[in-house]
Amino acid sequence: MGRPALWLLLQFLLIPGAAAGIRPALRALGNLHLSSSSTSRPAVANNYLVRYIQQKVDHFGFHNAKTFKQRYLIADKHWRKDGGSILFYTGNEGDITWICNNTGFMWDVAEEMKAMLVFAEHRYYGESLPFGEDSLKDSKHLNYLTSEQALADYAMLIRHLKRTIPGAKNQPVIAIGGSYGGMLAAWFRMKYPHIVVGALASSAPIWHFKDLVPCGEFMKIVTRDFTKNGPNCSQSIHMSWGAINRLSKTSSGLQWLTKAFHLCSPLTSEDIPYLKDWLSETWVNLAMMDYPYASDFLQPLPAWPIKVVCQYLKHPHVSDSLLLQNIFQALNVYYNYSGQAKCLNFSQAATSNLGTLGWSYQVCTEMVMPFCTNGIEDMFEPYLWNLKKFSDDCYSQWGVRPRPSWITTMYGGKNISSHTNIVFSNGDLDPWSGGGVTKDITDTLVAITIPQGAHHLDLRAVEIAH
């Protein structure tokens, strides 16, 4: 399978790419879950204990009796046996210590809620590997990487904590998560209402599945975020694809582009789809991380990074070379805010803390999230979602085919009104909000929209906006 398709599969809820445009969205998806990292408040993350629990590799069959060690973090500084509670982070696709570092919100509310904090690592990520280093090797080893198995791990862990920690037994547990972790928090409450009294599902695109929301929503929101900072900004990006196409027709054009973008290695015409994916991914990541303060989630970024980027993209109707030089300035905001970058490497994912390989398997099995663009309502090249092609790519990468309707069968799709006590929060800048619950469903299935909010802004530590 060619790399573009692979990229499409990669990455959390981070990004989409088309013949270029859509893959980044998928990567975005990958990252969807990430929460906040706060350069200003690193201290909190040290105040936890790292623990392990023995979990069954397969909770749903009796043939395989193997177990593995699941990692979790626990902090009880503010916990009170009397009147306290347990806040339980339903880990998503990444190293749980990194997720913990980026979930300042729980640390911020611990004292007020007299809460014990628990961060559970998702199986197949971080240290929680059912088959050690073979875990991600092939579909045989990956067979137990599903949301259902992960939720069962969380249920077992909570029962274990309640049994073994004196005073915990009768305390309410609230599930909290962001991005894919937010989907898990909501689903955990739906499937295990006897174990968690409620859930905060932040930036959780539980409807980003087949036939539930239009596949173009995500990239439309990305585009809107850029247009908000001046229509010329998204227009410049829109025009950049044609400029790249024209320049990449000749070898002198390719050489010029290599230089103009300060690329680490010379571009060939075969690289162009990857280059475009990488660009799209960059715009998507900026939309997800358009936080009001300087942050360091995937990359060090200034406050309101899209505003900074758009300062370089004010003139769409200029020569191809000038337009692309401006695009380079914009890229430099994302890749070189630190001033340390020697060159830009379009083969490099900007998401090393995320479990991109495991997530690429998940999107090829349960988490089938359609992305498309039309180049009219969005600033990307047109890209049609093609399930057959997606399925073929999955088959060649993993030897498995996706089941696009399974999540809806399992978790109810739009028909979830029989459930209770879930708060769905979404930032209106977050492209993932397009697949999220943004209107109240009942009195206890409540939607909160955060004006000017990017991806799970609410789970980040409180910081002073500039």
Contact residues toward ligand NAG (CB under 6 A) are 42, 45-46, 95, 97-98, 101, 230, 232, 262, 264-265, 314-317, 332, 336, 339, 341, 343-345, 347-348, 415, 418
| Structure-block tokens of residue 363 | 């999107």
Give the C-alpha separation, 205 to 90, whole Å.
15
Q: Which two tokens stand for residue 44?
A: 């909190």
> Is 455 a catalytic site residue?
yes
User: Which residue among the candidates 35, 179, 234, 280 is catalytic per the annotation?
Assistant: 179
Select 34 or 168, whichever has its Cβ closest to ligand NAG: 34
Per-position DSSP letters for 380-438, written without gaps between them: S--B---HHHHHHHHHHHHS----TTHHHHHH-TT--TT---EEEEEETT-GGGGGS--
How many other β-carbons are positioned within 10 Å of the β-carbon of residue 277? Answer: 31
Nearer to ligand NAG, 325 or 438 (CB): 325
* Smallest distance, ligand NAG to C-beta of residue 350, A: 10
Query: Position 186: which residue type?
Result: A
| Residue with smaller CB distance to ligand NAG, 343 or 465 | 343
Q: Is 430 a catalytic residue?
A: yes
Sort strands 173-178 and 115-120 into parallel, antiparallel or unpaired. Answer: unpaired
Q: What Cα–Cα distance (Å) separates residue 423 from each residue in 2, 221, 341, 401, 445?
A: 40, 22, 40, 33, 6
Judge whether 373 and 380 are in contact, CB under 8 Å: yes
Give least dist CB 76 to ligand NAG, A.
Answer: 18
Q: Between 104 and 216, whose beta carbon lies closer to ligand NAG?
A: 104
What are the C-alpha distances in Å from 223 to residues 238, 375, 400?
A: 9, 10, 33
Find tokens 């955990």 and name the residue: 188
Question: Of 129 and 372, which CB lies nearer to ligand NAG in the complex structure?
Answer: 129
Out of 225, 430, 456, 458, pick the active-site residue: 430
Q: Which of 425, 455, 456, 458 is catalytic?
A: 455
At a CB cut-off of 8 Å and minimum separation 6, what does 11 contact? 24, 26, 27, 28, 29, 30, 31, 281, 349, 351, 354, 356, 359, 360
> Is 37 in the active site?
no
Which residue lies nearer to ligand NAG by CB, 337 or 395? 337
CB of 162 to ligand NAG, least distance (A): 27
Contact between 346 and 339 under an 8 Å Cβ cutoff? The reply is no
d(CA 259, CA 253): 10
Residues belonging to the active site: 179, 430, 455
